Amino acid sequence: MIPVLEAVPNFSDGRDEGFVEAVRGAFARAGCEVLHTTMDPDHHRSVVTVVGAPGAVEEGAVASARLALERIDLREHEGVHPRVGALDVLPFVPLRGMGMADAVRSARRAGARIAELGLPVYFYAEASTPPRRTLASVRRGGFEALLEGRGGCGEADLPGRDTGAGSVHRFAHPSAGAVCVGAREVLLAWNVDVEGLPHPAAKRIAAGIRETGGGFRGLRALAFHLPAQRRTQISMNLEDPAATDPVEVFRAIERVASRLGGRVVGTEVIGLGPDALASPAAAREMRIRDWSGERLLGSRVDTWLAGLGDDSRY
């Protein structure tokens, strides 16, 4: 079986389409297939979904890290989403013909090469030692705290090398921050839009449904007000959508929002969705915007593999 690795890099730029096109080109030249891109100006964040052979995905990830280092300055960055790096998060996900141990090896190889660029690297999820360090622990206080050495995890796992300034970046690069490199299973990244509620009320909903607040297992949730888009959203990552039904999470948000005098108006899926969203009834109930079978990760990977034929690269 052809080994297929997914990467879902998150960049701290959601306004420059030219930058995202450059990232797409970097992955394509490495031999990857870019399946989806998402940009958000209020989050000031872009998410790119790519698949390919492990070596190709690693190569594209390092090239995209170089682009982020060259073109994003966090000292001028303003967005609602937590971030510590220009290339903020770089997860590797084993899809076909690979196990988690293989994804961890890819994460560590790519992380070592990114550190050579001068960017400190913090490993998270299955790639950390010991495993399952959380993103929240790295991003506590944001780029500014990390730059001052006040981050939650101390010195980076791989301090950025000397790139000519005469010093090693042990916590964060002065303009590009650090990169959180991880290995994990497929998750659901999604936002639920609510109307008629002030931001503090939305924050109460997020606090109540996330796992750390006694809510749903594997759910991470924050509430954001998006001024340019004039909407408030519950922004979530669901780590195991096969074990925790996203429809049940959606219904819980609806119930609480209604009790507080607001209402849910729709759902946005970031990137591609897991098989848990394959049911048309679930997509309708959650009112997912711009939804189709083309947004399911499994079917897109199947289509890509079928189109490879006898391509010798794989």
The per-residue pLDDT for range 193-250, each reduced to its tens digit, is 999 999 999 999 999 999 999 999 999 999 999 988 888 999 999 999 999 999 999 9
| Other Cβ atoms closer than 10 A to 144 | 14
State the chain's mean pLDDT as an integer.
94
- Which tokens in the block code for residue 63? 């090239």
Residues 130, 275, single domain; the answer is no
238 and 187 in contact (C-beta within 8 Å)?
A: yes
pLDDT of 310: 53
Q: Which of 83-92, 144-153, 188-197, 216-225 has the lowest mean pLDDT?
A: 144-153
The backbone torsions φ and ψ at residue 9, rounded to the nearest 5 degrees and listed phi first, read -70, 140
CA distance 48 to 38: 7
pLDDT of 311: 55
Residues 230, 98, single domain; the answer is no
Q: What is the CATH number of the domain that holds 21?
A: 3.30.990.10
Residues 170, 193, single domain; the answer is no
- Number of domains making up the chain: 2
Residues 155, 19, single domain; the answer is yes
pLDDT of 177: 96
CA distance 106 to 85: 20
Catalytic residue among 81, 173, 199, 225: 81
Average of per-residue pLDDT across 84-107: 98
Domain carrying residue 199: 188-291
Residues 177, 238, single domain; the answer is no
Q: Is residue 207 in a domain?
A: yes
111 and 121 in contact (C-beta within 8 Å)?
A: yes
CA distance 85 to 107: 17
Q: Higher pLDDT residue, 205 or 167?
A: 205
Q: Is residue 299 in a domain?
A: no
Give the residue from 234, 240, 250 showing the smallest Cα distance to 285. 250
43 is catalytic: no
Tally: H helices and E strands in the chain? 9, 11
Q: What is the CATH number of the domain that holds 282?
A: 3.30.70.670
Confidence band, pLDDT 50/70/90 cuts, at residue 165: low
Give the residue from 235, 247, 239, 233 showing the smallest Cα distance to 278. 247
Q: Which of 162-171, 187-196, 198-207 has the lowest mean pLDDT?
A: 162-171
Average of per-residue pLDDT across 121-134: 96
Confidence band, pLDDT 50/70/90 cuts, at residue 314: low
Domain end: 183, 216, 235, which one? 183
Residues 252, 144, single domain; the answer is no
pLDDT tens-digit readout, 247-289: 999 999 999 999 999 999 999 999 999 988 999 999 999 999 9
Residues 32, 174, single domain; the answer is yes
Q: Is residue 296 in a domain?
A: no
Task: Please enumerate, as own/partner, the contacts of 167-172 that have beta carbons within 8 Å and a separation of 24 or more.
Answer: 169/118, 169/119, 169/120, 170/120, 171/120, 171/146, 171/147, 172/84, 172/85, 172/120, 172/143, 172/146, 172/147
Residues 217, 253, single domain; the answer is yes
Q: Helix 17-29 crosses helix 54-71 at what angle (to 10 degrees)? A: 150
Residues 11, 148, single domain; the answer is yes
Q: Which residue has the tokens 């650090």?
A: 178
Q: Is residue 314 in a domain?
A: no
pTM here is 0.94
